[in-house]
Amino acid sequence: MSNDDAASRATPKRTSGKSGGRNRTGGGSAKARRKAARLGAVQALYQIDLTGAAVETVVGEFVTHRLGEEIDGTKFVAGDPQLFSDIVRGAMHRKAEVDSVLTAALDPRFPIDRLELLLRAILRAGAYEIAVHLDTHPRILISEYVDVGHAFFAGREPAMVNGVLDHVARALRADDLAKPDPSRGGPSVE
């Protein structure tokens, strides 16, 4: 797939992140705001990669104009601006480290620099969070980024996101993976 094809998908399906008419200053649950922040962070990373825009310029634009935007009369949940900013800034400022971890997780036939830009943005955001957000179980983060993958792709890409981020989590947080996922409410069945 070309990067031009991905540009036409830079906005996710409208069913993702609807707030049911809540305003952009915080409508939606905390979980919904985190999901929206992750989705927005991937879009911002994509924009930075595509255009070469400065990180702070894109972060400012998103926080001011795009998180919780209204499209065709439908208002979306406002992403948590703090989480959004952390993911975008962190993934870009630690890009060499994140890309190194991803390179180790990717099939050598699909190096990171040859991945479609949107897929690369999803993987960078997910790998950054797995590496840094130690207060969130890695399975939750993997699931969140698989959901982001589904917002943009209908093919095998979400499965690739799952596999690559699982590999990253096993490399960086194997002990946490051995613990039960707190979102499941019971003991892990592995």
Render pLDDT for 78-109 as a digit per residue (tens, 0 to 9): 889 999 999 999 999 999 999 999 999 999 98
Q: Tens digits of per-residue pLDDT, 168-188?
A: 999 999 999 888 876 666 544
Q: What is the distance of C-alpha 12 from the center of its chain?
A: 12
**DSSP string of 77-136, one letter each residue:** PPP-HHHHHHHHHHHHHTHHHHHHHHHHHS-TTS-GGGS-HHHHHHHHHHHHHHHH-TTS
What confidence score (pLDDT) does residue 12 get?
55
Q: What is the pLDDT of residue 117?
A: 96
Whether residue 12 contacts residue 151, with contact meaning beta carbons closer than 8 Å, is answered with: yes
Closest CA to 42 of 141, 113, 140: 141
User: Which residue positions in the chain have pLDDT lower than 50?
Assistant: 1-9, 13-25, 187-190
The partner residues of 74 in beta bridges, in order of sequence, read 71
